[in-house]
């Protein structure tokens, strides 16, 4: 496994991959920073493309990512993460709506758990999922980071914690 770290407006990001696909993007300042394993190799070169796309996103110049991803999880988690990728830039949806989209209308809580296990933050936009009442709820990177990402995508909207 290869990795690199980059600085961003939401703090240090750890990028993890196999050289061809991105397998993880973790906010190291969040509640669950990822420890670098002894057998991982630090190598920024395979991440040049994703790093450039992330910089464009944070600059407000990119709304869609074009990065090969490997999302490892249960079939349910993968269905949730696939649905997350369909939420357009600048829009939000609720956990219940994601549950309906994947054909599990009573699974809003399970969607929330899968959302929290998303291994590729920002690019798989779990930050775009909010409470049914429009409130910002749970985010592995912390609500302030969620607010920052949503404000980047929706600069005219005032978001309350």
Closest alpha carbon to 122 in 93, 99, 152, 95: 152
pLDDT digits (tens, 9 = 90+) for 118-129: 999 999 999 999
Q: Which domains does the chain have, with CATH numbers?
A: 2-58 (3.30.160.70), 75-153 (1.10.10.10)
Mean pLDDT confidence for 131-144: 77
Residue 160 has pLDDT above 80, yes or no: no
Residue 158 has pLDDT above 80, yes or no: no
Does residue 141 contact residue 27 with C-beta atoms inside 8 Å?
A: yes
Clarify whether 126 is annotated catalytic: yes
Residue 37 has pLDDT above 80, yes or no: yes
Helices 75-84 & 108-116 angle (0-180, nearest 10):
80
**Catalytic residue of the set 22, 99, 114, 126:** 126
Q: For tokens 């991959």, what's the residue?
A: 17
Does residue 40 contact residue 3 with C-beta atoms inside 8 Å?
A: yes
Task: Give the chain's mean pLDDT.
Answer: 91
Q: Which two tokens stand for residue 89?
A: 């830039």
Percent of the chain with pLDDT over 70: 95
| Distance separating alpha carbons of residues 71 and 64, to the nearest angstrom | 18
Q: For tokens 């969607």, what's the residue?
A: 111
pLDDT digits (tens, 9 = 90+) for 42-100: 999 999 999 999 999 999 999 999 999 999 999 999 999 999 999 999 999 999 999 99
């Amino acid at each position: 496994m290869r990795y690199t770290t980059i600085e961003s407006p939401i703090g240090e990001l750890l990028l993890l991959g196999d050289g061809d696909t991105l397998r993880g993007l973790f906010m190291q300042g969040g509640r669950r920073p990822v420890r670098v394993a002894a057998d991982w190799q630090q190598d920024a070169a395979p991440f040049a493309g994703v790093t450039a796309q992330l910089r464009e996103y944070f600059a407000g110049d990119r709304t869609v990512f074009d990065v090969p991803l490997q999302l490892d999880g249960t079939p349910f988690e993968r269905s949730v993460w696939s649905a997350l990728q369909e939420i357009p830039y600048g829009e939000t949806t609720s956990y219940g709506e994601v549950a309906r989209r994947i054909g599990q209308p009573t699974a809003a809580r399970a969607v929330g758990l899968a959302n929290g296990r998303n291994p590729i933050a920002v690019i798989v936009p779990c930050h775009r999922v909010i409470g049914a009442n429009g409130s910002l709820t749970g985010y592995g990177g912390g609500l302030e980071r969620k607010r920052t990402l949503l404000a980047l995508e929706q600069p005219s909207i005032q978001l309350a914690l």
